């Protein structure tokens, strides 16, 4: 379970360009559920997602993960949590150019020092599950948008995280691929994973598998605590 208490995130603090992206956000996200953070551009969806996923620290407030307060943890521990607990699917695939799909997929597991043969087997299995095993040796710049998205999903799953975080995953996908993506999410849910998605795409937040939609506007949750 993830719990956010009075979370605030300010960018450029102390500068004339100071901007408050999140204001007193209180939110509880249940395990093994698909939660969608919905809202217009600039509403603070991505910022909230990055705070939940330990990608950035809140300026104020507390974040609890399975009852453990993680906001004040040193960077090393946060990284460890990020690596083992969260799998990230970004709006852009954010793959590293110049190296193969397989290497990109294996990247998050490098710091864990897993045996190469096992890691490769796991990565190939993940690619096969999403029907892109044939592209494993290709460089990422040769992939189509959908293939790159699927490669980034396999990468997000390589360390078998309990929570999947996806930031506007369908923003660059056509309708067919978007449906395909939601099918994959359904599979995650079936496997017992918690999924948090930001989106303002009706195809996502109106999907049947979505358990809960949280509306965000101007850095606040509509209706106060959610």
Partner 1 sequence: MRAWIEKQRYIIDFTISSLLRRKVKNFGLLALYTLIVFILASTMFFTHSIKKEASLILKEAPEIIVQKLVAGRHDLFPVRDIETIRKIRGVARVEGRLWGYYFDSLVGANYTLLTPPIPDGGAETGRAATVEIEADDPLAPDASAPLFTFNGAALKPGSLIIGNGIARIRDIGKGDYLPFRAYDGMFMSLKVADALSSQSELVSADLMLITEDDFRKLFGIDRQYVTDVAVTVRNPSEVSTVASKIRQRLHDSRPIVRDEILRTYDSIFNWRGGMMIVIFSAAVLAFVIFAWDKASGLSAGERREIGILKAVGWETSDVIQMKFWEGALISLTAFFTGVILAYIHVFFTGSPVFEPALKGWSNLYPNFMLTPFINAEQLTTLFFLTVVPYTVATIVPTWRAATIDPDTAMRHTGE
Contacts to partner 1 from residues 37-96, by CB under 8 A: 47, 50, 55-57, 75-76, 79-80, 82-84, 88, 90, 92, 94-96
Contacts to partner 1 from residues 162-191, by CB under 8 A: none
Q: How far is the CB of 213 from partner 1 (least distance, A)?
A: 23
User: For residue 33, which of 207, 157, 194, 198 has the smallest C-alpha distance?
Assistant: 194
Q: How far is the CB of 9 from partner 1 (least distance, A)?
A: 10
Helix axes 116-129, 145-157, angle to 10 degrees: 130
Residue closer to partner 1, measured from CB, 29 or 156: 156
Residue closer to partner 1, measured from CB, 82 or 193: 82
Contacts to partner 1 from residues 109-128, by CB under 8 A: 110-116
Kindly list the residues in this chain that would bind partner 1 in the complex (CB under 8 A).
47, 50, 55-57, 75-76, 79-80, 82-84, 88, 90, 92, 94-99, 103, 107-108, 110-116, 155, 159
């Amino acid at each position: 379970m993830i719990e956010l208490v009075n979370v605030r995130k300010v960018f450029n603090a102390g500068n004339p360009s100071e901007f408050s992206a999140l204001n007193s956000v209180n939110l509880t996200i249940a395990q093994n559920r698909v939660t969608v953070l919905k809202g217009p551009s600039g509403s603070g969806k991505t910022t909230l997602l990055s705070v939940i996923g330990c990608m950035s620290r809140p300026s104020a407030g507390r974040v609890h993960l399975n009852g453990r307060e993680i906001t004040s943890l040193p960077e090393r521990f946060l990284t460890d949590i990020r690596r083992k607990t969260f799998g990230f699917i970004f709006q852009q695939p954010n793959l590293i150019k110049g190296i193969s799909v397989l290497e990109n997929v294996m990247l998050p597991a490098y710091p864990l020092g897993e045996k190469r043969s096992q890691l490769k087997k796991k990565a190939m299995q993940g690619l096969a599950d999403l029907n892109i095993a044939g592209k494993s040796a290709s460089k990422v710049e040769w992939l189509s948008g959908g293939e790159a998205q699927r490669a980034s999903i396999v990468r997000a799953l390589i360390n078998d995280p309990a929570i999947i975080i996806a930031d506007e995953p369908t923003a660059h996908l056509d309708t067919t691929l978007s449906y395909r993506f939601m099918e994959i999410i359904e599979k995650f849910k079936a496997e017992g994973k918690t999924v948090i998605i930001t989106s303002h795409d009706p195809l996502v937040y109106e999907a049947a598998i979505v358990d809960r939609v949280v509306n965000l506007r101007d850095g606040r949750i509509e209706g106060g605590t959610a």
